[in-house]
Structure formats: structure tokens, C-alpha cells
């Protein structure tokens, strides 16, 4: 992939990255010269070289600028779909060039944490061409709610767009929309959501707030969802008691859904949501209010009937995006789980043992200073990252020695 030159507005970031990130000995000017030379030779531009536990890594710019990019999906032909929270869906060509915004994308409420959020391909994309989007959908007046729509990718358009899920009820807050999209091995779709900033909704099963929902791809409710047929409960609900889930992925070794969610001040957590289980927010939490006061509803960190997180951070990194690494191209990264951090502006690598326990954490890009919104493993085994910025980027991170 040959990226375009790094945008001018990001020059300062580049200089910081070069000065701060490179553990090796070269001064920035020499690295910039080397980058120019490598680009002239048709190689991707190296933004920074980074020491890591598995050896030196190279960080490349693939595409940008992107306005608050949020989610990405790799097409079979090598192009990449990237959502921008402002409401655009773009294609990144194999030459790194960005398309114009695709037509047919639903209107979004791009305010606060709302906007166009995740993008995922149908498991049958090769034959059905369907792309799924999660977003903050406008309602009456100032109301908004997380929704999921799908449409067929044709050229630079989505056609036949239909909404397959709507969070109910809509609220007028502008935060905690979630939302990530993950297909399971049966072709059903998990949708992760948040409490919309209204804590009690996460314990109210008559609302979709604070839930993981599970639907058939056309929006129908799977008959084996845990609350099907129960009065006063949204039938799409798979699990509940979640605060705000901006990361989700299918564990490649167990085939189970893993999600993560933001705590308040402290208490970001990873969950393995099981059907019908309550993950506790706001009754139990390892966090406190930003004011320093306890969460009013909280009784502590554990309680009967409420699930413990699989893992939590006492100090919140502000996590977003989640990708398991199970690609032979980088054997040293296998059995790793990568998670972006917005507040702490870095990339987290967790390693898992054979029982899926998290046994180690490495922090990467600590000097880069960018909010990492999403992380995915590409078809080449490299990591692809989105930086949350008005002039954000799609970046590629891989061992320096790899092709």
C-alpha cells in the first residue's frame, strides 16, 4: 500500500512522533529523509519506529486526513471502508487514496459522542455485497438513538438501505451510544450499546440502553435470544448492565463474543457477555464519578446475581476498538488482544493464556500522543489503527522486518 504524503496539518504530530517515539538513535531529520527515500522507492511512509517487546515496529500512514474516523472494514479486494463520525463513509483504495463520501449513508446525529459509528461487512459479503453501519439516528425533536442500517455496496454508493435495528426508547442525550457490530458464527449480529448517560436505563430491561443486542442480519429476533416472549423486555437483548461499549470482537479461539466498556473514573472493563446475564452497571463498578464521589446506585464492586468483568483497569485508559491477533504473519503477536486507548492516548496489547485469562499487558505508542479509536488486524497480519482527531489517520503498525 502506498499512502499519500502525511498531511501538512499533522506535521507537528509527525515531529512529536519522530522525536518521542523512536527509541533508536537517529535524529528526526535523518528519519524524515529516510521516509522520503522509502516513499520514492514506492514503500509506505514511516511515521515512527517504535521499540516493543517483540522487537522494532514501524508505524506507517495509510490514509488521511479523516474526520474523527470511528470504524473500518476490509473488503476482499484490498480496499478498506472507513467511517467518519461526522457522517461519512469512505473507501481507502489500495494506493491509499480516499474516495469521496459514499452516497446512501443514513442521516446521523453527529453531536457529542453521536454520529456514524461502526462499519462491518456481511459474512456473505462476497455474494450479497451488504455493509452494516451503526450510528446515532435522529428522532423527533432532539431525540436520538443508536441504530443499525444495511445497504449494498455498489461503486461508491450504498443502495437499498434499510434500518434493521433501532434502540428504544430514543433519548435527548448525546453520549454513550456505543457501538460496535460483530457477527457470530451463525451469521447473527451483535450490537453493543451504552446507557446513553442515564445510568438507571442500564438496569431497565424495557429499554435497549446498556445492552448487547443480538439480531438476525435482517433485523428479526433469534428465537433463542434469552428474553424472547417475556413481557416488558426488549427481545433483542442478549446481556445488560453495560455502561458504554465501544469495543467488541469474536474471540478466534473460543468463538465467543468479547466486549469492553468504559467505566466512569476508573473501572474500564472487559466482559465475555453470556446470554441473559447482568453485567452490573451501575450497581457494581470498579470506578467512581468524575467528581470523586461514589456512583449513587453502586453498592460496591460485587453483588449476588451480577457478573464480574473478565478484566478491569483501576485507572481508565478510555478504551475503544478491539482486535484479537491470530495471524501467522506475526507469530510473536499471536494470542494477543489489542485495544485502543483514548484518554491515555496509546495502544494496549494484552496477552492471553490458554484459558483466555489475561496474563500480561504491554503499552505501545505511548509517546505518539494520539487517541486510538479503533484497531483491526488486516488481511496481511499488520495492525490497522484509526486516530480520533479532526484530522485523523488510518495507520498501519507492523514489525519493522515484515514486508
CB of 276 to Ca ion, least distance (A): 15
CB of 190 to Ca ion, least distance (A): 17
CB of 202 to Ca ion, least distance (A): 9
CB of 269 to Ca ion, least distance (A): 5
C-alpha cell, 15:
515531529
Smaller CB separation from Ca ion, 30 or 289: 289
Q: Taking the mean position of all CA atoms in its chain, how far away is CA 321?
A: 3
Of residues 56, 83, 120, the one with CA closest to residue 332: 56
Total of chain residues touching Ca ion, rule CB under 5 A: 2
The contact mask relative to Ca ion for 110-129 (x = CB under 5 A, - = no) is --------------------
Q: Which residues of 174-212 are buried (b: 16+ CB within 10 A; e: fewer)?
A: bebbbbbbbbeeeebbbbbbbbbbbbebbbbbebbbbbb
Smaller CB separation from Ca ion, 286 or 368: 286
| Window contacting Ca ion (CB under 5 A); options: 112-120, 277-285, 325-333, 379-387 | 277-285
Spell out the residues 6+ positions from residue 258 whose beta carbon is closer than 8 angstroms to its own: 248, 249, 250, 251, 270, 271, 272, 310, 322, 324, 337
- Catalytic residue selected from 176, 242, 262, 325: 176
| Window contacting Ca ion (CB under 5 A); options: 117-125, 207-215, 274-282, 287-295 | 274-282
Alpha-carbon distance 277 to 106, whole Å?
32
Alpha-carbon distance 100 to 94, whole Å?
15
The contact mask relative to Ca ion for 232-271 (x = CB under 5 A, - = no) is ----------------------------------------
Please indicate whether residue 260 is annotated as part of the active site. Answer: no
- Tell me if 280 contacts Ca ion by CB under 5 A: yes
Smaller CB separation from Ca ion, 279 or 384: 279
Smaller CB separation from Ca ion, 279 or 324: 279
Residue indicated by cell numbers 474516495: 99
Asked if 307 and 270 count as a contact pair (C-beta separation under 8 A), the reply is no
CB of 96 to Ca ion, least distance (A): 40
Smaller CB separation from Ca ion, 240 or 279: 279
The upper half-sphere exposure of residue 390, i.e. CA atoms within 13 Å in the direction of its Cβ, equals 1
Catalytic residues: 176
Applying CB under 5 A, which residues contact Ca ion? 279-280
Amino acid at each position: 500500500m502506498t499512502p499519500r504524503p502525511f498531511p501538512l496539518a499533522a506535521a507537528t504530530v509527525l515531529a512529536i512522533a519522530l522525536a518521542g517515539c523512536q527509541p533508536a538513535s537517529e535524529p528526526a531529520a535523518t528519519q524524515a529523509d529516510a521516509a522520503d527515500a522509502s516513499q520514492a522507492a514506492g514503500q509506505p511512509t514511516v511515521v515512527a519506529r517504535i521499540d516493543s517487546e517483540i522487537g522494532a515496529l514501524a508505524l506507517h500512514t495509510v490514509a488521511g486526513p479523516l474526520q474523527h474516523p470511528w470504524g473500518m472494514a476490509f473488503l476482499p479486494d484490498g480496499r478498506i471502508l472507513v467511517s467518519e463520525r461526522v457522517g461519512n463513509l469512505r473507501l481507502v483504495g489500495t494506493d491509499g487514496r480516499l474516495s469521496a463520501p459514499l452516497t446512501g449513508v443514513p442521516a446521523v446525529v453527529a453531536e457529542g459522542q453521536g454520529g456514524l459509528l461502526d462499519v462491518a461487512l456481511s459474512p456473505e459479503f462476497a455474494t450479497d455485497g451488504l455493509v452494516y453501519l451503526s450510528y446515532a439516528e435522529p428522532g423527533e425533536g432532539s431525540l436520538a438513538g443508536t441504530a443499525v442500517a444495511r445497504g449494498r455496496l455498489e461503486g461508491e454508493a450504498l443502495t437499498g438501505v434499510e434500518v434493521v435495528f433501532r434502540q428504544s426508547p430514543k433519548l435527548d442525550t448525546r453520549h454513550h451510544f456505543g457501538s460496535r457490530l460483530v457477527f457470530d458464527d451463525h451469521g447473527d449480529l451483535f450490537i453493543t450499546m451504552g446507557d446513553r448517560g442515564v445510568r438507571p436505563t442500564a438496569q431497565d430491561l424495557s429499554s435497549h440502553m446498556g445492552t448487547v443486542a443480538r439480531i438476525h442480519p435482517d433485523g428479526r429476533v433469534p428465537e433463542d435470544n434469552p428474553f424472547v416472549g417475556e413481557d416488558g423486555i426488549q427481545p433483542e437483548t442478549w446481556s445488560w448492565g453495560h455502561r458504554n461499549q465501544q469495543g467488541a470482537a469474536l474471540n478466534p479461539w473460543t468463538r465467543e463474543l468479547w466486549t469492553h466498556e468504559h467505566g466512569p473514573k476508573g473501572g474500564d472493563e472487559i466482559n465475555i457477555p453470556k446470554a441473559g446475564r447482568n453485567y452490573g452497571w451501575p450497581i457494581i463498578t470498579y470506578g467512581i464519578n468524575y467528581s470523586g464521589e461514589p456512583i449513587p446506585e453502586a453498592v460496591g464492586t460485587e453483588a449476588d446475581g451480577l457478573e464480574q468483568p473478565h478484566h478491569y483497569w483501576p485507572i481508565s485508559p478510555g478504551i475503544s476498538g478491539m482486535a484479537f491477533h491470530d495471524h501467522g504473519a506475526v507469530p510473536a503477536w499471536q494470542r494477543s488482544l489489542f485495544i485502543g486507548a483514548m484518554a491515555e492516548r496509546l495502544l494496549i496489547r494484552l496477552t492471553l493464556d490458554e484459558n483466555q485469562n489475561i496474563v500480561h499487558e504491554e503499552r505501545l505508542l505511548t509517546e505518539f500522543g494520539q487517541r486510538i479509536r479503533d484497531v483491526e488486524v488486516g488481511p496481511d497480519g499488520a495492525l490497522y489503527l484509526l486516530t480520533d482527531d479532526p484530522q485523523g489517520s488510518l495507520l498501519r503498525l507492523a514489525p519493522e522486518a515484515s514486508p
